[in-house]
Amino acid sequence: MELQDCPPDEAGAGAHARGEPAVALGGIDITFHLADGGRYQAVKGIDLKVFPGEFVSIVGPTGCGKSTLLNAAAGLLAPSTGRVDIFGKPLVGLNRRAGYLFQQDALMPWKTALENVKVALEPMGVSDKEAGERAREWLARVGLRSFVDRYPHMLSGGQRKRVSLAQMLIRNPEILLMDEPFGPLDAQTRQIMGNLLLDLWSRDRKALMFVTHDLEEAIALSDRVVVMSAGPAAGIVADYKVTLPRPRDIADIRLEKAFHEIHRDIWTSLKVEVQKAYAMGEGRELVGGDAA
Amino acid sequence: MKRIKLLSLQILVMLVFLAVWHVVTTTSLFGDVKTMQFFFSTPTAVLTRTFKQLTSGDIYWHLGITLTETVLAFVIGSAAGILFGFAFARRELLSAVFDPYIKAANALPRVVLAPIFALWFGLGIWSKVALGFTLVFFIVFFNVYQGVREVSPTILANARMLGMNERQLFKHVYWPSALTWMFSSLHTSVGFALVGAVVGEYLGSSAGLGYKIHEAESVFDVTGVFSGMLILAIFVIVIDTLVTLVEKRLLVWRPVQSSTTVA
């Protein structure tokens, strides 16, 4: 707690810097009030700390409240009980120090790729000219140099994700939150995007919470993999360290022996939850389908 | 190739129509030629009259009046529609309280208001603008309301996470979304502004296209009525083409162009 006034940039400078957690969820319960008057408890008693420089993936069966947790860290959703601390300070309202990459298309369809990235700098008071230059730079960095003037509907799913990535990263947030960002993409595009993400992330190593249902993707990308139980009232059942060396190529790393070992380990705990979720499948879909 | 074929078929339809009209009114196959011409005039007479009117200056003054009324009704109606659309979409209570009244007002056939507007605003252009306003307002209002309400929650959440304040959200998210909906109804609202103007003129005025048609009607000048209708149709096509151009320019970011041609 004495680190409270320490600038987070410095705390996150070293790859393995610990100190104050960037995100600390303490005893989080989240209950939804359903339209028919009922209640659905999505997550219960969640304790999770993500430190600066750490890439943490959250895996679990569908509908276990992974995204709910991310929304709580973003301040888009207030937990029913428990606390969210961002760099040691309780979170009030939206998390201004975080960037969020959504699963669905979140680009403004009436703006070109360039305008979409540029607009992210407007709330920070950057001048129009400088914002334009920086947006071009970022679009080049995500490989869209010649697509700056395209509207979202003229871009492929992978290209739109690249624009979203640039839009998020141009603000240089200290915490990155990603909700199954590559979910809607095909397998090959996912790998390319995964490598791009690792490449961008490894330059300055922000705290990153990555929600996915793909265990292989989680292991290939992360430093830690957190396994959540099946909902309702989902909790954290396991927390694994991934010690595979970096830099990684997420296509190649899947072929390594160490990868298989850790995959087997995590899968043993994840499998139980997935089976539970399947067993409850239909009942849960009815009450908590949108709590995913 | 396809275009030429389509165009020639379209012209063919017109020629067949004119031919049938001509045969009906200039031969005694369907009855007395004089009676038929009294009721239906003849295509040559209508075309000649139209040509004469379009080459003399007088009609342009009337067209100018109608155009002024249309534009004023559209601009004022749209501005009010946008204002109220936004207010109602952002204030839950306001829309809940006024919902039945808005529905009732919208269900009212606006033509019944024309005499009252003539009483309130006189026989000049403003009673026609008022009539057009009542038609345009509701179309724009409902579309803007819908546009603001139906902003994708993901786009909104994303914009919030980017740190936008209310003013920036309005500028980058709500406003463009509302405009999209409004532009998608541009043809309808411009069309209704014109309907308001012409109907208003028809029911009581001393100038405009509606007045010209009414004037011809009151002396049983069928040729004059048809010629007025033809000029009105040409006028509508010109305006609609302009609207399509504006729409294409403004909605360039949209994947599918849905432009309905009234022509």
Residue B182 sits in a domain whose CATH number is: 1.10.3720.10
Give a yes or no: residue A30 inside a domain: yes
Instruction: Measure the CA–CA gap between A218 and B235, rounded to whole angstroms.
Output: 64
Instruction: Measure the CA–CA gap between A280 and B130, rounded to whole angstroms.
Output: 62
pLDDT of the residue at A281: 65
Low-confidence ranges of chain B (pLDDT < 50): 257-263
DSSP assigned state of A64: S
Phi, psi for B229 (deg, rounded to 5): -65, -40
* Interchain pair B154, A104: CB under 8 A: yes
* Interchain pair A123, B180: CB under 8 A: no
* Interchain pair A153, B164: CB under 8 A: no
Give a yes or no: residue A197 inside a domain: no
Residues 6+ apart with CB under 8 A from B171: none
Residue A229 · residue A62 · CB < 8 Å: no
Low-confidence ranges of chain A (pLDDT < 70): 1-18, 281-292
Distance from CA of B157 to the nearest CA of A (A): 8
Contacts with B159 from chain A: Cβ below 8 Å:
108
Beta bridge partners of A57: A210, A225
The position carrying tokens 């309702």 is A232
Q: Does B176 touch chain A (CB under 8 A)?
A: yes
Residues B5 and B51 in one domain: no
On the question of a cis peptide bond just before residue B255, with omega within 30 degrees of 0, the verdict is no
Give a yes or no: residue A133 inside a domain: no
Quote the tokens at residue A35: 């339209």
Give a yes or no: residue A177 inside a domain: no
Q: Which domain holds residue A21?
A: 8-91+204-291
Residues B6 and B22 in one domain: yes
Give a yes or no: residue B261 inside a domain: no
The torsion defined by the Cα of B114, B115, B119 and B120, in degrees rounded to 10, comes to -30
Instruction: Measure the CA–CA gap between A2 and B19, rounded to whole angstroms.
Output: 95
The CATH number given to whatever domain includes residue A66 is: 3.40.50.300
Q: Does A107 touch chain B (CB under 8 A)?
A: yes
* Interchain pair A76, B157: CB under 8 A: yes
Give a yes or no: residue A238 inside a domain: yes
pLDDT of the residue at A1: 37
On the question of a cis peptide bond just before residue A247, with omega within 30 degrees of 0, the verdict is yes
Q: Does A229 touch chain B (CB under 8 A)?
A: no
Number of domains forming the structure of chain A: 1
pLDDT of the residue at A2: 38
Give a yes or no: residue B216 inside a domain: yes
Instruction: Measure the CA–CA gap between A134 and A124, rounded to whole angstroms.
Output: 13
Instruction: Measure the CA–CA gap between B158 and A108, rounded to whole angstroms.
Output: 9
Residues B12 and B90 in one domain: no
| Other CB atoms within 10 Å distance of the CB of residue B58 | 9
Number of domains forming the structure of chain B: 2
pLDDT of the residue at B256: 62
Task: Please calculate the CA angle B103-B104-B107 and round it to the nearest 5 degrees.
Answer: 85
* Interchain pair A102, B252: CB under 8 A: no
Residues B50 and B36 in one domain: no
Choose the closest CB to B162 out of A110, A111, A120: A120
Q: Does A99 touch chain B (CB under 8 A)?
A: yes
Residues A7, A8, A14, A17: is their CA dihedral positive or negative?
positive
DSSP assigned state of B173: I
* Interchain pair A102, B157: CB under 8 A: yes
Quote the tokens at residue B90: 């952002």
Residues B32 and B77 in one domain: no
Give a yes or no: residue B29 inside a domain: yes
Q: Which domain holds residue B5?
A: 1-40
Q: Does A106 touch chain B (CB under 8 A)?
A: yes
Q: Enter the ipTM.
A: 0.84
Contacts with A105 from chain B: Cβ below 8 Å:
154
Quote the tokens at residue B82: 């946008």
Task: Please calculate the CA angle A141-A145-A147 and round it to the nearest 5 degrees.
Answer: 130
- Amino acid in position A291: A
Choose the closest CB to B163 out of A96, A111, A153: A96
B20, exposed or middle or buried, with CB in 10 Å at 0-12, 13-18, 19+? exposed
Instruction: Measure the CA–CA gap between A84 and A23, rounded to whole angstroms.
Output: 7
Q: Does A76 touch chain B (CB under 8 A)?
A: yes
Q: Does A150 touch chain B (CB under 8 A)?
A: no
Residue B176 · residue B182 · CB < 8 Å: no
pLDDT tens digits, one per residue of A260-269: 999 999 999 8
Distance from CA of B137 to the nearest CA of A (A): 25
Q: Does A156 touch chain B (CB under 8 A)?
A: no
Choose the closest CB to B161 out of A94, A108, A151: A94
Phi, psi for A67 (deg, rounded to 5): -70, -35
User: Hey, of A91, A97, A105, A110, which one would you mutate to test binding to chain B, going by the most B CBs within 10 A of its CB?
Assistant: A110
Q: Is A94 helix (H, G, I), strand (E, B) or coil?
A: coil
pTM above 0.80, yes or no: no
Q: Is B257 helix (H, G, I), strand (E, B) or coil?
A: coil
Q: Does B257 touch chain A (CB under 8 A)?
A: no
Q: Does B158 touch chain A (CB under 8 A)?
A: yes
Instruction: Measure the CA–CA gap between A68 and A84, rounded to whole angstroms.
Output: 13
pLDDT of the residue at A18: 64
Give a yes or no: residue A29 inside a domain: yes
Task: Please calculate the CA angle A5-A7-A8 and round it to the nearest 5 degrees.
Answer: 115
Residues B213 and B108 in one domain: yes
pLDDT of the residue at A106: 94
pLDDT of the residue at B182: 84
Instruction: Measure the CA–CA gap between B127 and A139, rounded to whole angstroms.
Output: 55
Residues B85 and B191 in one domain: yes
Residue B41 · residue B227 · CB < 8 Å: no
Instruction: Measure the CA–CA gap between A177 and A96, rounded to whole angstroms.
Output: 12
* Interchain pair A120, B255: CB under 8 A: no
Instruction: Measure the CA–CA gap between B255 and A109, rounded to whole angstroms.
Output: 9
Contacts with B173 from chain A: Cβ below 8 Å:
108
A65: left (phi over 0), alpha (psi -120 to 50) or beta: left
pLDDT of the residue at A287: 42
